[in-house]
Amino acid sequence: MTIDPHDIIDIGDSLKQRNPDRFTTDFESNKQAVEELTSVESRRVRNRIAGYVTRTSD
């Protein structure tokens, strides 16, 4: 299954907006937060969302 990059951005932005204190510049902790906050079953999609959130974190 493929997912549109725009969907990754939308999900990542939505997660950051709802849970700003859960995300940092650490990929591993963001990956765990994405797993806890979403029902994404695909490891690849979870990692892409976590990577986007990590890249856009201050």
Q: Higher model confidence: residue 58 or residue 21?
A: 21
Q: Got the DSSP string for 9-57? A: HHHHHHHHHH-GGG--S-HHHHHHHHHHH-----HHHHHHHHHHHHHH-
Predicted local distance difference test score (pLDDT) of residue 44: 96
What whole-number percentage of the chain has pLDDT above 70? Answer: 98
Question: What's the CATH code of the domain at 43?
Answer: 1.10.60.20
Average pLDDT of the chain, as a whole number: 95
Predicted local distance difference test score (pLDDT) of residue 58: 79
Number of domains composing the chain = 1
**Domain span at 32:** 5-56
Given a cut of 80, whether residue 1 has pLDDT beyond it is: no
Given a cut of 80, whether residue 43 has pLDDT beyond it is: yes
For the segment 17-24, the average pLDDT, to the nearest whole number, is 96
Token pair in block for residue 10? 């939308």
